[in-house]
């Protein structure tokens, strides 16, 4: 258990014991199902923790030239790379750092595959398919929404795939269950199975939240074994992001002021929702706060002083940089630690330096109960991003 009083504020801090618990489960699923499960950098890229990951998995997935370099240079293996659009500038480096390259469209494939072929590198190329089916309810995260820019629909696939297409990549989940995967597989097989004899691998993308407590991992393993039995020549790949670092650590913050306006009390923190927890405003959802009860958002408007109900406010000048209603068991004090749970996946990679606000440090709490601070951010980090 992380001792938050030994953690600097503000700081993202990963719990190594919780990380290893997730990694052990993921490795077990991969081994039992006979599939490859790889880490998606778009959710997590804290590269100084990669030595722990390498004990359990071999490969990663990249969505850009920088992520591909991170895979090759820091994780130590070439990436499975997919991007909505490659450029002439980036593609040579993408090839150097990738074992698999998935193209979003046939126009991109026709433009860049000749470079792959001429390079002589052992790179397996694929095309992203769009099954036109997804149970993701939030359109912001639905890659199969009408008019999507992602993937090729079945009506655009030729009966004989072009030379060089060795795999299909499909992504249509977001923190989804194995039962949603079951429905998706039915659509994929009904629509695309006639091309399966022509390919070597099928990448089922991310969004498989197998480390969530209510996830039915036995059902997932059964689904994947069944898929392998039906198409034994196919290598099956999953590339979840959140599942690896789900509930593996918090963002530790501190109260710097308490303000009240027309009965609404706001505890202003040394972190920002818009800068350091942007998913909270994009979705939005209220993060769990350690030691506090989450209430309906509007509860703050009718709260009595003695109820110790607070809104949490960020330290940027954006008017909407605040969230929710939380009930504490005591009046909050300036300097008190506030622990925002489950802030390691996606949150860290989506942060920004709006307002030049001090960026939270990045640390890991090791299994021997020692803290290692991987990164402290300084003025120069902000300055050097701007020019």
The DSSP code sequence of 194-220 is GGGGG-SEEE--S-B-TTSTT--HHHH
Residue with tokens 């993308």: 205
pTM for the full model? 0.95
Query: Which ranges of 98-196 would DSSP assign to H, the alpha helix?
Result: 106-119, 178-192
**Residue 238 is inside which H or E element, if any?**
strand 235-238
Whole-angstrom CA distances from 174 to 217, 241, 350 are 16, 10, 16
Lowest-confidence range among 249-263, 296-310, 348-362? Answer: 296-310
Q: In sequence order, which residues have a C-beta less than 8 Å from that of residue 332 and are 6 or more positions away?
A: 255, 258, 267, 308, 310
The pLDDT of residue 319 is 95
**Number of other residues whose CB lies within 10 A of the CB of residue 294:** 15
Reference 104, options 87, 119, 121; nearest CA is 87
3 state DSSP class of 121: coil
In tens, the pLDDT along 97-156 reads 999 999 999 999 999 999 999 998 899 999 999 987 777 777 777 676 777 888 899 999
Q: Is 168 helix (H, G, I), strand (E, B) or coil?
A: strand
CA-nearest of 205, 309, 187 to 260 is 309
- Give dist(CA 100, CA 124) in Å, integer: 5
Q: What is the pLDDT of residue 18?
A: 98
Both structure tokens of 9 = 């504020």
CA dihedral 283, 289, 293, 296 (to 10 degrees): -20
Q: Tell me, what's the pLDDT at 182?
A: 96
pLDDT at 325: 93
Q: In this structure, what token pair is assigned to residue 171?
A: 């992504």
> What average pLDDT does the segment 268-290 reach?
92
Distance from C-alpha of 69 to C-alpha of 74, rounded to nearest angstrom: 8
Q: State the chain's mean pLDDT as an integer.
A: 95
Q: How far apart are CA 231 and CA 176, in angstroms?
A: 24
What is the pLDDT confidence band of residue 304, given thresholds at 50, 70 and 90?
Answer: confident
Which range has the worst mean pLDDT, 49-53, 78-82, 142-146?
Answer: 142-146
Distance CA 117, CA 309 (A): 63
Percentage helix, strand, coil, to 5, in the chain?
35, 25, 40
Check if the beta carbon of residue 224 is closer than 8 Å to that of residue 200. Answer: no
For residue 335, what is the DSSP state?
A: T
pLDDT in tens, 191-241: 999 999 999 999 999 999 999 999 999 999 999 999 999 999 999 999 999
- For residue 369, the model assigns a pLDDT of 97
Residue among 99, 66, 94, 64 at smallest CA distance from 80:
99
Q: What's the Rg (C-alpha) of the chain?
A: 23
Tokens of 375: 């990164």
Among the listed residues 206, 187, 195, 193, the one whose alpha carbon sits nearest the alpha carbon of residue 132: 187
With a cut of 80, say whether residue 65 has pLDDT above it: yes
Q: Is the peptide bond before 385 cis (omega within 30 degrees of 0)?
A: no
| C-alpha separations of 182 from 52, 179, 212 in Å | 31, 5, 17
pLDDT of residue 1: 86
Percent of the chain with pLDDT over 90: 86
- What per-residue confidence (pLDDT) applies to 259? 97
Q: Using 50, 70 and 90 to split pLDDT, how confident is the model at 303?
A: confident
Nearest CA-CA partner of 173 in 149, 147, 208, 213 = 208
Q: Within its chain, how far is the Cα of 180 from the centroid?
A: 18
- The residue written with tokens 């609404």 in the block is 264
């Amino acid at each position: 258990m992380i001792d938050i009083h030994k953690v600097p504020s503000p700081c993202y801090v990963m719990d190594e014991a919780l990380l290893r618990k997730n990694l052990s489960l993921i490795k077990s699923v991969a081994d039992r199902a006979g599939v490859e499960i790889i880490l998606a950098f778009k959710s997590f890229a804290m590269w100084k923790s990669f030595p722990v990951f390498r004990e359990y998995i071999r490969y990663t997935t990249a969505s850009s030239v920088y992520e591909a370099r991170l895979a090759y240079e820091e994780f130590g293996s070439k990436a499975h790379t997919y991007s909505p659009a490659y450029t002439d500038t980036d593609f040579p480096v993408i090839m150097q750092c990738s074992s698999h390259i998935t193209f979003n469209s046939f126009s991109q494939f026709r433009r860049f595959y000749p470079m792959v072929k001429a390079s002589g590198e052992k790179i397996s190329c694929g095309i992203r398919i769009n099954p036109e089916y997804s149970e993701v309810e939030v359109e912001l995260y639905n890659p199969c929404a009408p008019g999507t820019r992602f993937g090729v629909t079945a009506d655009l696939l030729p009966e004989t795939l072009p030379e060089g297409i060795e795999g299909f990549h499909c992504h249509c989940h977001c923190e989804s269950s194995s039962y949603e995967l079951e429905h998706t597989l039915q659509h994929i097989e009904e629509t695309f199975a006639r091309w399966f004899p022509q390919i070597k691998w099928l990448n089922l993308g991310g969004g498989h939240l197998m480390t969530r407590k209510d996830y039915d991992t036995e059902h997932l393993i059964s689904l994947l074994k069944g898929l392998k039995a039906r198409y034994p020549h196919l290598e099956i790949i999953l590339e979840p992001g959140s599942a690896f670092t789900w509930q593996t650590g918090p963002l530790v913050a501190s109260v710097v002021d308490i303000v009240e306006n027309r009965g609404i009390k706001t505890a202003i923190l040394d972190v920002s929702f818009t800068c350091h927890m942007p998913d909270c405003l994009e979705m939005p959802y209220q993060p769990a706060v350690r030691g506090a009860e989450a209430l309906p958002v509007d509860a703050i408007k009718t709260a009595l002083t003695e109820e110790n109900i607070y809104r949490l406010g960020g330290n940027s000048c954006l008017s909407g940089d605040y969230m929710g209603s939380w009930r504490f068991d005591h009046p909050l004090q300036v300097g008190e630690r506030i622990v925002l749970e489950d802030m390691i996946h996606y949150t860290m990679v989506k942060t920004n330096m709006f307002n030049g606000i001090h960026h939270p440090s990045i640390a890991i709490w090791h299994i021997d109960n020692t803290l290692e601070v991987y990164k402290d951010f300084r003025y120069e980090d902000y300055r050097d991003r701007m020019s």
